[in-house]
A and B are shown apart, each in its own frame.
Chain A
Amino acid sequence: MAKTKGYPEALETKLRDRYMYGDDSHPEFTDSVEKISMSIPHMCYQCGTCTASCPSAPRSSYRIRKFVRRVVLGLENEALTDPDLWLCTTCYSCTDRCPRDIAPTDVIMAMRNLAFKRDIIPVNFLKTVQAIYTTGHGVPNNDVNRAARVKLGMDADPPTTHTYKEFIPGIQKILDYYKLKANADRIVKEREG
């Protein structure tokens, strides 16, 4: 939260100081992340092995160590509103190498779950949900591929929900149980009209 530094007001509104204040911190955020991730970010001693192992770090401002620190300090807004949260490829190199036995990848996933509750989510994730709701597949079949399958002597559609469509209502029930399709539709519509 910005605090005054005594500059002229026109400048004050543009600046933010670098301090962390007590009311920036939300300990319940730390608890939620630990619960969802089933991991122990509070054990982090900030060695940076995670960032050093990260394929996204050399080509962006994404720093997994920084995100873990934000979790420990309860800096919910800072973490969940940072667009870099979505640059983790979930390669699990950091998790493999963490000397404190933390799973930083799962910590990121937990934060993404919490961001989604605030409608913070890139639309491509939601489009996968919509595709699965309709077809059962995140990457559904298409005509070129159907023709190729037939040429291979296979059925045009694989023996999945594509062939056995009677399973699709069950999938829809699961997604509706969590209101996932309704939320996906609502957010995609807000973004794309």
Chain B
Amino acid sequence: MEAKHKYAFYLGCIAPNRYPGSEAAAIKTSRKLGIELVPLKGASCCPAPGAFGSIDLNVWYAMAARNLVLAEQMKMDIALLCNGCYKSIWEVNHKLKHHDELRDGVNEVLKTIDMEYKGSINVYHLAELMYDDKIVGPAKIRDSVTNPLTGARIAVHYGCHLIKPRKDREFEKTEILNTENPTWMEELVAALGATPVEYRQKMMCCGAGGGVRGYDIVHALDIANEKLINLKEANVDALTDICPFCQLQFDRGQIEIKEKFGVEYNLPVLHFCELLGLAQGMSPQDLALDLHGISCEPFLQKVL
């Protein structure tokens, strides 16, 4: 069957290079939902908005524009699975489309590598496509589920850079513009048969962004730790995210928190694509869940 929707699949760094199961899951689960993800050959780091944005915004614009041009050459919109990548790729695309001076500056640099940014494509996060019923929508996701995650209490970490700052963002579904207390991801979790769980300070940052994880790891982990305390209070079986960098912070971060603060949570952390994969019948091996810092076993026993 010819897929109805085709996107250039922008991978970023952490998904393919640390959690390859989420890349595999994104491709397989999307196919079942009528989305074909075509490799965006030669893409680089988005580049990391915290690191590059802090050093020189002009470099950030130019490097992100190069990735955008690769998709323009394929004449395809971009789909991606990371909030940090969304900030770079979506936001630079948006800025260059609206600021002539910025675009001219970027094109001057791109000229040295025989490229030109035209502003001919759009950028989407897979999570927003999953929620958009013109593309997929919760009902279609529910229909694709063969192994409902019944009985699992799952909390959502939305992360920051998909939805904030709200005043710049443009989404088909206005529910995504609610940055104070959104519930659209909970709808997606419910579509998998699981029980979405609310917790205190749900919208708080994971603490890793802006280069803080590298600059002051104890400070960054302390932020993640506050969220983990709140998640423990809510008695959840797993945390789901839509950003591999947040996932790294919560998953591998729990090991660092144990070392530095002496507290242990053993809370499995899964990208929404990984959860969707499990619900569509992919095995833990298909998702390389053994690469996670925190064992997913207790959660898997509940849902498999």
Q: Chain A interface (Cβ within 8 Å of chain B)? A: 36, 38, 55-56, 59-60, 86-93, 95-96, 101, 103, 105, 109-110, 112-113, 116, 121-122, 124-129, 132, 136-142, 144-145, 148-149, 151-154, 158-164, 166-167, 170-171, 173-175, 177-178, 180
Contact = CB atoms under 8 A, between A and B. Distances in A.
A139 B42 contact: no
Contacts of A132: 44-45, 47, 63
A122 to B, nearest CB: 5
Contact of B18 (A60, A90, A113, A139): A139
Contact of B11 (A129, A145, A158): A158
Interface of B: 11, 13-14, 16-18, 20-21, 23-24, 39-45, 47-59, 62-63, 66, 99, 109-110, 112-113, 115, 160-161, 164-167, 179, 203-205, 207-212, 214-216, 219-220, 222-223, 226, 285-286, 288, 290-291
Contacts of B47: 128, 132, 138
Contacts of B288: 148, 151-152
A101 B167 CA distance: 9
Given A124-B215, A141-B17, A89 B205 contact: yes
Given A91-B209, A116-B55, A103 B165 contact: yes
Given A137-B45, A152-B24, A180-B56, A158 B209 contact: no
Contacts of A95: 164-165, 167
A160 B43 CA distance: 5
Contacts, number: 213
A87 B219 contact: yes
A92 B14 CA distance: 22
